[in-house]
Amino acid sequence: MAKKLTVVFRQAKIPASGNIVVLVGTDGALGNIGKEVDARHDGLLSKSIKAADFKGSAGSTMTVWTPGKTRVNRCLLAGVGKPEDGAEQSWLDLGGVVIAALSSGDAKAATILLEDPEGKDISGDQAALVAMGMTLRAYKFDQYMTGDKAKKARAKSLPKIEIATANTAKAKRRYTAHAAVAEGVNLARDLVNEPANILGPVEFANRAKALSKLGVDVQILNEKDLSKLKMNSLLSVSRGSVKPARLAVMRWNGAKTKSTAPVAFVGKGVVFDTGGISLKPGAGMGDMKGDMGGAAAVTGLMHALAARKARVNAVGVIGLVENMPDGDATRPGDIIKSMSGQTIEVLNTDAEGRLVLADALWYTQKKFKPKITIDLATLTGAILVALGQDHAGLFSNDDELSTQLAAAGEVTGEKVWRMPLGKTYDKMIDSKFADMKNIGGRWAGSITAAQFLKRYVNESPWAHLDIAGTAMNSPDTKINRSWGSGFGVRLLDRLVADNYEK
Ligand code: BES
Ligand code: MN
Ligand code: ZN
Protein backbone atom coordinates (compact mmCIF):
# COMPACT_ATOMS: atom_id res chain seq x y z
CA MET A 1 0.00 0.00 0.00
CA ALA A 2 1.40 3.36 -0.95
CA LYS A 3 2.65 5.53 1.87
CA LYS A 4 1.45 9.07 1.69
CA LEU A 5 4.15 11.45 0.54
CA THR A 6 3.69 15.01 1.66
CA VAL A 7 4.79 17.70 -0.72
CA VAL A 8 4.39 21.42 -0.19
CA PHE A 9 5.20 24.16 -2.65
CA ARG A 10 6.84 27.32 -1.39
CA GLN A 11 8.44 30.45 -2.71
CA ALA A 12 11.75 30.11 -4.50
CA LYS A 13 13.90 31.16 -1.58
CA ILE A 14 16.97 29.33 -0.36
CA PRO A 15 16.21 27.92 3.09
CA ALA A 16 18.48 28.77 6.00
CA SER A 17 18.83 25.21 7.21
CA GLY A 18 18.09 21.56 6.41
CA ASN A 19 18.80 19.50 3.34
CA ILE A 20 18.54 21.11 -0.03
CA VAL A 21 18.50 19.81 -3.56
CA VAL A 22 20.19 21.82 -6.29
CA LEU A 23 19.74 21.06 -9.97
CA VAL A 24 22.75 20.75 -12.22
CA GLY A 25 22.72 21.03 -16.01
CA THR A 26 24.96 19.74 -18.77
CA ASP A 27 28.69 19.84 -17.98
CA GLY A 28 28.03 20.68 -14.35
CA ALA A 29 26.28 23.98 -15.06
CA LEU A 30 24.60 25.71 -12.12
CA GLY A 31 21.61 27.97 -12.58
CA ASN A 32 21.07 31.28 -10.79
CA ILE A 33 19.78 29.69 -7.61
CA GLY A 34 22.54 27.08 -7.70
CA LYS A 35 25.13 29.82 -8.05
CA GLU A 36 23.65 31.67 -5.10
CA VAL A 37 23.83 28.52 -2.94
CA ASP A 38 27.39 27.99 -4.13
CA ALA A 39 28.34 31.56 -3.16
CA ARG A 40 26.87 31.11 0.31
CA HIS A 41 29.07 28.08 0.84
CA ASP A 42 32.40 29.43 -0.35
CA GLY A 43 32.17 27.74 -3.72
CA LEU A 44 31.93 24.23 -2.27
CA LEU A 45 29.38 23.17 -4.85
CA SER A 46 31.28 24.26 -7.92
CA LYS A 47 34.55 22.94 -6.50
CA SER A 48 32.96 19.55 -5.75
CA ILE A 49 31.39 19.39 -9.21
CA LYS A 50 34.84 19.93 -10.71
CA ALA A 51 36.65 17.59 -8.35
CA ALA A 52 34.19 14.75 -8.99
CA ASP A 53 33.84 15.58 -12.67
CA PHE A 54 30.07 15.62 -12.12
CA LYS A 55 28.52 15.99 -15.58
CA GLY A 56 25.00 16.83 -14.53
CA SER A 57 23.48 14.28 -16.87
CA ALA A 58 19.86 13.39 -16.29
CA GLY A 59 19.42 10.85 -13.52
CA SER A 60 22.80 11.35 -11.86
CA THR A 61 23.14 12.59 -8.29
CA MET A 62 25.93 13.53 -5.90
CA THR A 63 25.85 14.58 -2.27
CA VAL A 64 27.95 17.53 -1.18
CA TRP A 65 28.39 18.15 2.54
CA THR A 66 28.35 21.84 3.20
CA PRO A 67 29.13 22.50 6.85
CA GLY A 68 30.09 26.08 7.51
CA LYS A 69 28.51 29.47 7.51
CA THR A 70 24.88 28.46 7.03
CA ARG A 71 22.89 25.77 8.75
CA VAL A 72 22.39 23.95 5.45
CA ASN A 73 24.86 21.14 5.70
CA ARG A 74 23.80 18.70 3.07
CA CYS A 75 23.20 19.51 -0.54
CA LEU A 76 22.07 16.91 -3.03
CA LEU A 77 23.11 17.78 -6.55
CA ALA A 78 20.66 16.33 -9.07
CA GLY A 79 21.61 16.24 -12.73
CA VAL A 80 18.91 17.24 -15.18
CA GLY A 81 21.00 17.53 -18.34
CA LYS A 82 19.03 19.47 -20.91
CA PRO A 83 15.40 18.99 -19.90
CA GLU A 84 13.37 18.41 -23.05
CA ASP A 85 10.67 20.89 -23.91
CA GLY A 86 7.18 19.54 -23.48
CA ALA A 87 8.28 16.11 -22.34
CA GLU A 88 6.80 15.23 -18.99
CA GLN A 89 9.24 12.42 -18.59
CA SER A 90 12.34 14.39 -17.59
CA TRP A 91 10.57 16.11 -14.70
CA LEU A 92 8.81 12.98 -13.49
CA ASP A 93 12.13 11.16 -13.63
CA LEU A 94 13.83 13.94 -11.69
CA GLY A 95 11.27 13.53 -8.93
CA GLY A 96 11.86 9.77 -8.90
CA VAL A 97 15.63 10.07 -8.75
CA VAL A 98 15.56 12.73 -6.03
CA ILE A 99 13.17 10.89 -3.71
CA ALA A 100 15.24 7.70 -4.08
CA ALA A 101 18.49 9.51 -3.29
CA LEU A 102 16.99 11.36 -0.32
CA SER A 103 15.47 8.19 1.11
CA SER A 104 18.66 6.19 0.79
CA GLY A 105 20.56 9.07 2.39
CA ASP A 106 18.19 8.99 5.38
CA ALA A 107 17.08 12.58 4.95
CA LYS A 108 14.04 13.42 7.10
CA ALA A 109 13.16 16.50 5.08
CA ALA A 110 14.46 18.39 2.08
CA THR A 111 13.82 21.46 -0.02
CA ILE A 112 14.18 21.15 -3.77
CA LEU A 113 15.25 24.38 -5.40
CA LEU A 114 13.60 24.06 -8.76
CA GLU A 115 15.10 25.83 -11.73
CA ASP A 116 16.31 25.11 -15.21
CA PRO A 117 20.10 25.35 -14.88
CA GLU A 118 20.15 26.81 -18.40
CA GLY A 119 17.94 29.68 -17.30
CA LYS A 120 14.75 28.76 -19.14
CA ASP A 121 11.53 29.56 -17.30
CA ILE A 122 10.07 26.75 -15.28
CA SER A 123 6.39 26.96 -14.65
CA GLY A 124 4.39 25.42 -11.86
CA ASP A 125 3.70 22.53 -14.20
CA GLN A 126 7.19 21.13 -13.86
CA ALA A 127 7.10 21.49 -10.08
CA ALA A 128 3.89 19.48 -10.03
CA LEU A 129 5.44 16.83 -12.27
CA VAL A 130 8.45 16.51 -9.97
CA ALA A 131 6.09 15.93 -7.06
CA MET A 132 4.15 13.37 -9.07
CA GLY A 133 7.36 11.54 -10.01
CA MET A 134 8.20 11.32 -6.32
CA THR A 135 4.80 9.87 -5.43
CA LEU A 136 5.13 7.25 -8.15
CA ARG A 137 8.66 6.23 -7.20
CA ALA A 138 7.85 6.14 -3.48
CA TYR A 139 5.17 3.47 -4.02
CA LYS A 140 5.76 0.25 -2.12
CA PHE A 141 3.82 -2.97 -1.76
CA ASP A 142 5.11 -4.43 1.47
CA GLN A 143 2.07 -5.14 3.61
CA TYR A 144 2.54 -8.90 3.55
CA MET A 145 5.97 -8.81 5.13
CA THR A 146 6.33 -9.49 8.82
CA GLY A 147 9.09 -9.48 11.45
CA ASP A 148 12.58 -8.35 10.54
CA LYS A 149 11.75 -8.28 6.89
CA ALA A 150 8.93 -5.84 7.53
CA LYS A 151 11.10 -3.73 9.78
CA LYS A 152 13.72 -3.46 7.08
CA ALA A 153 11.21 -2.68 4.36
CA ARG A 154 9.43 -0.04 6.42
CA ALA A 155 12.32 1.37 8.43
CA LYS A 156 12.58 4.51 6.40
CA SER A 157 9.74 6.94 6.49
CA LEU A 158 9.50 9.20 3.50
CA PRO A 159 11.17 12.58 3.85
CA LYS A 160 8.98 15.65 4.04
CA ILE A 161 9.38 17.46 0.76
CA GLU A 162 9.27 21.14 -0.05
CA ILE A 163 9.51 22.26 -3.63
CA ALA A 164 10.66 25.83 -4.00
CA THR A 165 9.31 27.29 -7.22
CA ALA A 166 8.64 30.70 -8.70
CA ASN A 167 5.05 29.78 -9.39
CA THR A 168 3.59 28.18 -6.28
CA ALA A 169 -0.04 28.91 -7.11
CA LYS A 170 0.14 27.13 -10.44
CA ALA A 171 2.19 24.30 -8.99
CA LYS A 172 -0.43 23.68 -6.31
CA ARG A 173 -3.24 23.80 -8.82
CA ARG A 174 -1.53 21.43 -11.22
CA TYR A 175 -0.50 19.11 -8.45
CA THR A 176 -4.04 18.47 -7.30
CA ALA A 177 -4.66 16.98 -10.73
CA HIS A 178 -1.30 15.21 -10.93
CA ALA A 179 -1.70 13.76 -7.45
CA ALA A 180 -5.10 12.39 -8.45
CA VAL A 181 -3.51 10.63 -11.41
CA ALA A 182 -0.62 9.31 -9.30
CA GLU A 183 -3.17 7.90 -6.84
CA GLY A 184 -4.90 6.20 -9.75
CA VAL A 185 -1.61 4.67 -10.91
CA ASN A 186 -0.80 3.47 -7.41
CA LEU A 187 -4.29 2.01 -7.03
CA ALA A 188 -3.80 0.07 -10.28
CA ARG A 189 -0.41 -1.16 -9.01
CA ASP A 190 -1.98 -2.34 -5.74
CA LEU A 191 -4.63 -4.28 -7.63
CA VAL A 192 -2.08 -5.97 -9.91
CA ASN A 193 0.28 -6.80 -7.05
CA GLU A 194 -2.41 -8.37 -4.84
CA PRO A 195 -2.45 -12.17 -4.99
CA ALA A 196 -5.61 -13.90 -6.16
CA ASN A 197 -6.36 -15.49 -2.78
CA ILE A 198 -6.86 -11.95 -1.49
CA LEU A 199 -8.26 -10.31 -4.59
CA GLY A 200 -10.90 -12.46 -6.24
CA PRO A 201 -13.65 -11.09 -8.49
CA VAL A 202 -15.84 -10.17 -5.51
CA GLU A 203 -13.04 -8.39 -3.66
CA PHE A 204 -11.98 -6.60 -6.83
CA ALA A 205 -15.55 -5.47 -7.37
CA ASN A 206 -15.55 -4.09 -3.82
CA ARG A 207 -12.46 -2.04 -4.58
CA ALA A 208 -14.25 -0.65 -7.62
CA LYS A 209 -17.29 0.06 -5.47
CA ALA A 210 -15.08 2.13 -3.18
CA LEU A 211 -14.75 4.71 -5.97
CA SER A 212 -18.27 5.85 -5.11
CA LYS A 213 -16.74 7.99 -2.39
CA LEU A 214 -15.24 10.09 -5.19
CA GLY A 215 -18.62 10.53 -6.83
CA VAL A 216 -18.30 7.62 -9.24
CA ASP A 217 -21.55 5.78 -9.80
CA VAL A 218 -20.66 2.11 -9.42
CA GLN A 219 -22.87 -0.82 -10.26
CA ILE A 220 -21.83 -4.42 -9.63
CA LEU A 221 -23.51 -7.15 -11.67
CA ASN A 222 -23.52 -10.63 -10.10
CA GLU A 223 -23.80 -13.98 -11.88
CA LYS A 224 -27.56 -13.88 -11.93
CA ASP A 225 -27.48 -10.48 -13.63
CA LEU A 226 -24.86 -11.72 -16.09
CA SER A 227 -26.92 -14.81 -16.92
CA LYS A 228 -29.96 -12.67 -17.53
CA LEU A 229 -27.93 -10.53 -19.91
CA LYS A 230 -26.81 -13.76 -21.65
CA MET A 231 -23.13 -13.08 -21.04
CA ASN A 232 -22.34 -16.76 -21.54
CA SER A 233 -18.96 -16.07 -23.06
CA LEU A 234 -17.71 -14.28 -19.93
CA LEU A 235 -19.41 -16.83 -17.67
CA SER A 236 -17.83 -19.76 -19.54
CA VAL A 237 -14.45 -18.63 -18.25
CA SER A 238 -15.34 -18.72 -14.56
CA ARG A 239 -17.26 -22.02 -14.71
CA GLY A 240 -14.32 -23.91 -13.27
CA SER A 241 -13.75 -21.53 -10.38
CA VAL A 242 -15.47 -21.54 -7.00
CA LYS A 243 -15.20 -17.76 -7.11
CA PRO A 244 -18.23 -16.25 -8.83
CA ALA A 245 -17.81 -13.76 -11.67
CA ARG A 246 -18.64 -10.08 -11.45
CA LEU A 247 -18.94 -7.21 -13.88
CA ALA A 248 -18.26 -3.77 -12.44
CA VAL A 249 -19.62 -0.70 -14.20
CA MET A 250 -18.13 2.62 -13.11
CA ARG A 251 -19.55 5.89 -14.37
CA TRP A 252 -18.07 9.32 -13.94
CA ASN A 253 -20.25 12.17 -15.20
CA GLY A 254 -18.02 15.22 -15.24
CA ALA A 255 -19.20 16.82 -18.49
CA LYS A 256 -21.58 19.76 -18.50
CA THR A 257 -24.50 17.62 -19.56
CA LYS A 258 -25.16 14.13 -18.39
CA SER A 259 -26.47 13.13 -21.81
CA THR A 260 -23.16 13.74 -23.62
CA ALA A 261 -22.00 10.41 -25.07
CA PRO A 262 -19.28 8.99 -22.82
CA VAL A 263 -15.81 7.71 -23.54
CA ALA A 264 -15.68 4.05 -22.54
CA PHE A 265 -12.90 1.91 -21.12
CA VAL A 266 -13.18 -1.85 -20.86
CA GLY A 267 -10.77 -4.04 -18.92
CA LYS A 268 -9.87 -7.73 -18.79
CA GLY A 269 -10.01 -8.75 -15.16
CA VAL A 270 -8.89 -12.36 -14.93
CA VAL A 271 -7.83 -12.41 -11.28
CA PHE A 272 -5.89 -15.61 -11.95
CA ASP A 273 -5.30 -17.43 -15.21
CA THR A 274 -4.34 -21.09 -14.86
CA GLY A 275 -5.29 -21.64 -18.49
CA GLY A 276 -8.25 -23.75 -17.37
CA ILE A 277 -8.44 -27.26 -18.86
CA SER A 278 -5.80 -26.12 -21.38
CA LEU A 279 -3.60 -25.80 -18.31
CA LYS A 280 -0.53 -23.59 -18.48
CA PRO A 281 2.90 -25.03 -17.68
CA GLY A 282 3.90 -24.51 -14.04
CA ALA A 283 6.93 -22.29 -14.50
CA GLY A 284 6.09 -18.65 -13.99
CA MET A 285 2.38 -19.32 -13.50
CA GLY A 286 2.40 -17.11 -10.41
CA ASP A 287 2.66 -14.13 -12.74
CA MET A 288 -0.91 -14.83 -13.80
CA LYS A 289 -2.16 -13.10 -10.67
CA GLY A 290 -1.52 -10.01 -12.78
CA ASP A 291 -3.91 -11.07 -15.54
CA MET A 292 -6.31 -8.38 -14.38
CA GLY A 293 -3.93 -5.57 -15.36
CA GLY A 294 -6.46 -4.20 -17.85
CA ALA A 295 -9.22 -4.03 -15.25
CA ALA A 296 -6.75 -2.49 -12.79
CA ALA A 297 -5.83 0.24 -15.28
CA VAL A 298 -9.49 1.02 -15.95
CA THR A 299 -10.20 1.24 -12.22
CA GLY A 300 -7.12 3.42 -11.63
CA LEU A 301 -8.14 5.63 -14.54
CA MET A 302 -11.68 6.08 -13.20
CA HIS A 303 -10.16 7.01 -9.85
CA ALA A 304 -7.90 9.56 -11.54
CA LEU A 305 -10.69 11.13 -13.61
CA ALA A 306 -13.03 11.43 -10.65
CA ALA A 307 -10.40 12.62 -8.19
CA ARG A 308 -9.31 15.42 -10.52
CA LYS A 309 -12.92 16.10 -11.51
CA ALA A 310 -12.25 15.66 -15.20
CA ARG A 311 -14.79 17.42 -17.41
CA VAL A 312 -15.79 14.32 -19.25
CA ASN A 313 -18.38 11.59 -19.11
CA ALA A 314 -16.53 8.30 -18.77
CA VAL A 315 -17.59 4.71 -18.31
CA GLY A 316 -15.33 1.94 -17.04
CA VAL A 317 -16.48 -1.65 -17.46
CA ILE A 318 -14.42 -4.52 -16.09
CA GLY A 319 -15.08 -8.24 -16.45
CA LEU A 320 -13.91 -10.06 -13.32
CA VAL A 321 -13.40 -13.83 -13.40
CA GLU A 322 -11.00 -16.55 -12.36
CA ASN A 323 -9.89 -19.15 -14.94
CA MET A 324 -9.59 -22.55 -13.25
CA PRO A 325 -9.67 -26.22 -14.30
CA ASP A 326 -12.47 -28.25 -12.70
CA GLY A 327 -14.91 -31.07 -13.35
CA ASP A 328 -17.39 -28.48 -14.52
CA ALA A 329 -14.95 -26.20 -16.33
CA THR A 330 -15.37 -25.29 -19.99
CA ARG A 331 -13.69 -27.89 -22.23
CA PRO A 332 -11.79 -27.40 -25.47
CA GLY A 333 -14.37 -28.00 -28.19
CA ASP A 334 -17.27 -26.53 -26.25
CA ILE A 335 -19.48 -24.13 -28.17
CA ILE A 336 -20.95 -21.16 -26.36
CA LYS A 337 -23.28 -18.35 -27.34
CA SER A 338 -22.08 -14.86 -26.49
CA MET A 339 -24.33 -11.96 -25.49
CA SER A 340 -24.08 -10.67 -29.07
CA GLY A 341 -25.69 -13.88 -30.31
CA GLN A 342 -22.54 -14.97 -32.11
CA THR A 343 -21.34 -18.47 -31.25
CA ILE A 344 -17.80 -19.36 -30.25
CA GLU A 345 -16.00 -22.67 -30.42
CA VAL A 346 -13.62 -22.65 -27.47
CA LEU A 347 -10.64 -24.61 -28.77
CA ASN A 348 -8.26 -23.43 -26.07
CA THR A 349 -9.50 -22.48 -22.62
CA ASP A 350 -6.30 -20.47 -22.09
CA ALA A 351 -7.47 -17.96 -24.70
CA GLU A 352 -9.96 -16.73 -22.11
CA GLY A 353 -9.37 -12.98 -22.04
CA ARG A 354 -11.11 -12.46 -25.37
CA LEU A 355 -14.10 -14.43 -24.09
CA VAL A 356 -14.44 -12.04 -21.17
CA LEU A 357 -13.97 -8.96 -23.35
CA ALA A 358 -16.39 -10.15 -26.04
CA ASP A 359 -19.34 -9.78 -23.68
CA ALA A 360 -17.96 -6.76 -21.81
CA LEU A 361 -17.36 -4.88 -25.08
CA TRP A 362 -20.75 -5.80 -26.52
CA TYR A 363 -22.52 -4.76 -23.32
CA THR A 364 -20.63 -1.45 -23.15
CA GLN A 365 -21.35 -0.42 -26.71
CA LYS A 366 -24.98 -1.48 -26.58
CA LYS A 367 -25.71 0.12 -23.26
CA PHE A 368 -23.73 3.37 -23.41
CA LYS A 369 -23.27 4.14 -27.14
CA PRO A 370 -19.86 5.62 -26.37
CA LYS A 371 -17.98 8.12 -28.51
CA ILE A 372 -14.93 5.91 -28.35
CA THR A 373 -14.22 2.56 -26.74
CA ILE A 374 -10.81 1.48 -25.56
CA ASP A 375 -10.14 -1.91 -24.08
CA LEU A 376 -7.06 -2.89 -22.12
CA ALA A 377 -6.00 -6.47 -21.61
CA THR A 378 -3.04 -8.63 -20.73
CA LEU A 379 -4.22 -10.61 -23.70
CA THR A 380 -1.39 -12.48 -25.39
CA GLY A 381 2.11 -13.72 -24.72
CA ALA A 382 2.70 -13.06 -28.41
CA ILE A 383 2.69 -9.30 -27.84
CA LEU A 384 5.81 -9.78 -25.70
CA VAL A 385 7.44 -11.60 -28.60
CA ALA A 386 6.54 -8.76 -30.95
CA LEU A 387 7.15 -5.65 -28.83
CA GLY A 388 8.89 -6.69 -25.63
CA GLN A 389 8.14 -4.54 -22.61
CA ASP A 390 8.67 -1.09 -24.08
CA HIS A 391 5.43 -0.64 -26.03
CA ALA A 392 1.91 -1.89 -25.61
CA GLY A 393 0.29 -3.25 -28.77
CA LEU A 394 -2.34 -0.95 -30.27
CA PHE A 395 -5.04 -2.30 -32.57
CA SER A 396 -7.73 -0.01 -33.86
CA ASN A 397 -10.40 0.58 -36.48
CA ASP A 398 -9.81 4.33 -36.32
CA ASP A 399 -6.79 6.34 -37.48
CA GLU A 400 -7.62 9.44 -35.48
CA LEU A 401 -7.97 7.59 -32.20
CA SER A 402 -4.73 5.74 -32.94
CA THR A 403 -2.91 9.00 -33.55
CA GLN A 404 -4.28 10.45 -30.31
CA LEU A 405 -3.16 7.38 -28.37
CA ALA A 406 0.30 7.41 -29.92
CA ALA A 407 0.67 11.09 -29.02
CA ALA A 408 -0.46 10.52 -25.42
CA GLY A 409 2.04 7.66 -25.27
CA GLU A 410 4.90 9.90 -26.34
CA VAL A 411 4.21 12.55 -23.66
CA THR A 412 3.62 10.14 -20.82
CA GLY A 413 6.25 7.58 -21.75
CA GLU A 414 3.56 4.88 -21.74
CA LYS A 415 4.19 4.05 -25.36
CA VAL A 416 1.98 2.18 -27.80
CA TRP A 417 2.77 0.70 -31.21
CA ARG A 418 0.11 0.16 -33.80
CA MET A 419 -0.28 -3.31 -35.23
CA PRO A 420 -2.27 -4.30 -38.30
CA LEU A 421 -5.78 -5.70 -38.61
CA GLY A 422 -7.24 -7.17 -41.79
CA LYS A 423 -9.49 -9.64 -43.54
CA THR A 424 -6.82 -12.30 -43.94
CA TYR A 425 -6.19 -12.32 -40.20
CA ASP A 426 -9.91 -12.30 -39.52
CA LYS A 427 -10.33 -15.46 -41.60
CA MET A 428 -7.93 -17.26 -39.30
CA ILE A 429 -10.55 -17.39 -36.55
CA ASP A 430 -13.37 -18.82 -38.68
CA SER A 431 -14.63 -22.07 -37.17
CA LYS A 432 -15.80 -25.32 -38.69
CA PHE A 433 -18.65 -25.63 -36.19
CA ALA A 434 -19.50 -22.16 -34.90
CA ASP A 435 -19.32 -18.50 -35.96
CA MET A 436 -15.74 -18.30 -34.79
CA LYS A 437 -13.12 -20.12 -32.76
CA ASN A 438 -11.20 -18.52 -29.93
CA ILE A 439 -7.73 -19.17 -31.33
CA GLY A 440 -6.08 -18.44 -34.67
CA GLY A 441 -3.23 -20.45 -36.07
CA ARG A 442 0.37 -20.66 -34.96
CA TRP A 443 1.29 -17.17 -36.12
CA ALA A 444 0.15 -13.61 -35.43
CA GLY A 445 -1.39 -14.53 -32.07
CA SER A 446 -1.84 -10.95 -30.89
CA ILE A 447 -3.50 -9.95 -34.15
CA THR A 448 -5.94 -12.84 -34.30
CA ALA A 449 -6.87 -12.07 -30.68
CA ALA A 450 -7.59 -8.47 -31.70
CA GLN A 451 -9.60 -9.67 -34.73
CA PHE A 452 -11.71 -11.70 -32.34
CA LEU A 453 -12.46 -8.60 -30.23
CA LYS A 454 -13.24 -6.62 -33.37
CA ARG A 455 -16.17 -8.97 -34.01
CA TYR A 456 -17.72 -7.60 -30.81
CA VAL A 457 -17.49 -3.91 -31.56
CA ASN A 458 -19.60 -1.95 -33.98
CA GLU A 459 -18.30 0.63 -36.41
CA SER A 460 -17.69 3.35 -33.81
CA PRO A 461 -14.06 4.20 -32.96
CA TRP A 462 -12.42 1.46 -30.94
CA ALA A 463 -8.91 0.66 -29.82
CA HIS A 464 -7.52 -2.41 -28.12
CA LEU A 465 -4.35 -2.18 -26.05
CA ASP A 466 -2.55 -5.47 -25.44
CA ILE A 467 -0.65 -4.73 -22.23
CA ALA A 468 0.65 -8.24 -21.46
CA GLY A 469 4.19 -6.92 -21.80
CA THR A 470 3.81 -3.63 -19.97
CA ALA A 471 1.38 -4.17 -17.08
CA MET A 472 3.46 -6.48 -14.93
CA ASN A 473 6.94 -7.79 -14.31
CA SER A 474 8.03 -4.36 -15.34
CA PRO A 475 11.64 -3.39 -15.79
CA ASP A 476 12.79 -0.76 -13.29
CA THR A 477 12.34 2.84 -14.30
CA LYS A 478 13.01 6.07 -12.45
CA ILE A 479 9.36 6.33 -11.47
CA ASN A 480 8.46 2.68 -11.01
CA ARG A 481 9.89 -0.11 -8.89
CA SER A 482 6.62 -2.01 -8.59
CA TRP A 483 5.96 -5.39 -10.21
CA GLY A 484 2.57 -4.17 -11.31
CA SER A 485 3.33 -0.97 -13.19
CA GLY A 486 -0.10 0.64 -13.39
CA PHE A 487 0.46 0.98 -17.15
CA GLY A 488 -2.37 2.71 -18.98
CA VAL A 489 -3.60 5.08 -16.30
CA ARG A 490 -1.34 7.99 -17.22
CA LEU A 491 -1.69 7.21 -20.93
CA LEU A 492 -5.49 7.30 -20.92
CA ASP A 493 -5.78 10.17 -18.49
CA ARG A 494 -3.68 12.15 -20.93
CA LEU A 495 -5.73 10.99 -23.90
CA VAL A 496 -8.87 12.23 -22.15
CA ALA A 497 -7.32 15.51 -21.02
CA ASP A 498 -5.99 16.33 -24.49
CA ASN A 499 -8.94 15.22 -26.59
CA TYR A 500 -12.16 14.61 -24.73
CA GLU A 501 -12.50 17.30 -22.06
CA LYS A 502 -14.22 20.59 -22.59
N1 BES B 1 -3.09 -14.09 -19.82
C2 BES B 1 -2.53 -14.72 -20.96
C3 BES B 1 -1.56 -13.81 -21.73
C4 BES B 1 -0.31 -13.39 -20.99
C5 BES B 1 0.88 -14.06 -21.20
C6 BES B 1 -0.32 -12.29 -20.17
C7 BES B 1 2.02 -13.63 -20.57
C8 BES B 1 0.82 -11.87 -19.55
C9 BES B 1 2.00 -12.53 -19.74
C10 BES B 1 -3.64 -15.13 -21.92
O11 BES B 1 -4.85 -15.44 -21.35
C12 BES B 1 -3.17 -16.34 -22.62
O13 BES B 1 -3.02 -17.34 -21.98
N14 BES B 1 -2.97 -16.24 -23.92
C15 BES B 1 -2.51 -17.33 -24.70
C16 BES B 1 -3.33 -17.35 -25.96
C17 BES B 1 -3.19 -18.61 -26.75
C18 BES B 1 -3.76 -19.80 -25.98
C19 BES B 1 -3.91 -18.45 -28.07
C20 BES B 1 -1.05 -17.09 -25.01
O21 BES B 1 -0.63 -15.96 -25.17
O22 BES B 1 -0.31 -18.08 -25.06
MN1 MN C 1 -4.96 -17.48 -20.74
ZN1 ZN D 1 -5.24 -14.57 -19.54
CATH number assigned to the domain comprising residue 107? 3.40.220.10
Nearest to 353 by CA among 442, 420, 439, 458: 439
Can you tell me the distance from the alpha carbon of 451 to that of 453, in angstroms, rounded to the nearest whole number?
Answer: 5
Q: Residues 434, 318: one domain?
A: yes
Per-position DSSP letters for 236-260, written without gaps between them:
HHHTT-SSPPEEEEEEEE-SSSTTS
Q: Residues 456, 408: one domain?
A: yes
Q: Residues 90, 231: one domain?
A: no
Average pLDDT, the chain: 96
Whether residue 493 has its Cβ less than 6 Å from ligand 1: no
pLDDT of residue 257: 95
Nearest to 56 by CA among 32, 33, 83: 83
Can you tell me the distance from the alpha carbon of 269 to that of 376, in angstroms, rounded to the nearest whole number?
Answer: 10
Percentage with pLDDT > 90 across the chain = 89
What backbone torsions phi and psi does residue 374 show, to the nearest 5 degrees? -125, 125
Do residues 468 and 456 make contact, with C-beta atoms less than 8 angstroms apart? Answer: no
Q: Residues 156, 201: one domain?
A: no
pLDDT of residue 70: 85
Q: Residues 153, 53: one domain?
A: yes
Do residues 480 and 293 make contact, with C-beta atoms less than 8 angstroms apart? Answer: no
Residue 444 lies in a domain: yes
Do residues 389 and 468 make contact, with C-beta atoms less than 8 angstroms apart? Answer: no
329 DSSP assignment: S
Q: Which of 280, 337, 371, 481 is catalytic?
A: 280
Q: Residues 196, 231: one domain?
A: yes
Mean pLDDT of 8-16: 91
Nearest to 344 by CA among 328, 327, 329, 358: 358
Percentage with pLDDT > 70 across the chain = 99
Residue 189 lies in a domain: yes
Q: Residues 152, 198: one domain?
A: no
In the residue annotation, 280 being an active-site residue is answered as yes
Residue 171 lies in a domain: no
Three-point CA angle 14, 20, 24, nearest 5°: 95
How does pLDDT run across 42-89, given as a tens digit for each residue?
Answer: 999 999 999 999 999 999 999 999 888 888 889 999 999 987 766 788
Whether residue 468 has its Cβ less than 6 Å from ligand 1: yes
Domain ends where: 166, 198, 222?
166
Q: Residues 220, 162: one domain?
A: no
The tally of domains found in the chain comes to 2
Cross-strand partners of 78: 23, 61
In the residue annotation, 13 being an active-site residue is answered as no
pLDDT of residue 354: 99
Domain ends where: 121, 136, 166?
166
Residue 178 lies in a domain: no
475 DSSP assignment: P
What backbone torsions phi and psi does residue 294 show, to the nearest 5 degrees? -65, -45
The end-to-end CA distance of the chain, in Å, is: 34
Q: Residues 362, 219: one domain?
A: yes
Q: Residues 270, 342: one domain?
A: yes
Per-position DSSP letters for 371-410, written without gaps between them:
SEEEEEE---THHHHHHTTT-EEEEES-HHHHHHHHHHHH
pLDDT exceeds 60 at position 461: yes
pLDDT of residue 366: 98
Residue 175 lies in a domain: no
Mean pLDDT of 264-285: 98
Do residues 486 and 192 make contact, with C-beta atoms less than 8 angstroms apart? Answer: yes
Query: Whole domain around residue 45: which residue ranges?
Result: 6-166
Q: Residues 223, 358: one domain?
A: yes
Q: Residues 308, 403: one domain?
A: yes
Mean pLDDT of 153-168: 89
Whether residue 381 has its Cβ less than 6 Å from ligand 1: yes
The CATH number covering residue 349 comes to: 3.40.630.10
Do residues 365 and 460 make contact, with C-beta atoms less than 8 angstroms apart? Answer: yes
Task: Among 291, 380, 472, 474, name the best residue to mutate to test ligand 1's pocket (greatest count of ligand atoms within 8 A of Cβ).
Answer: 380
pLDDT of residue 157: 80
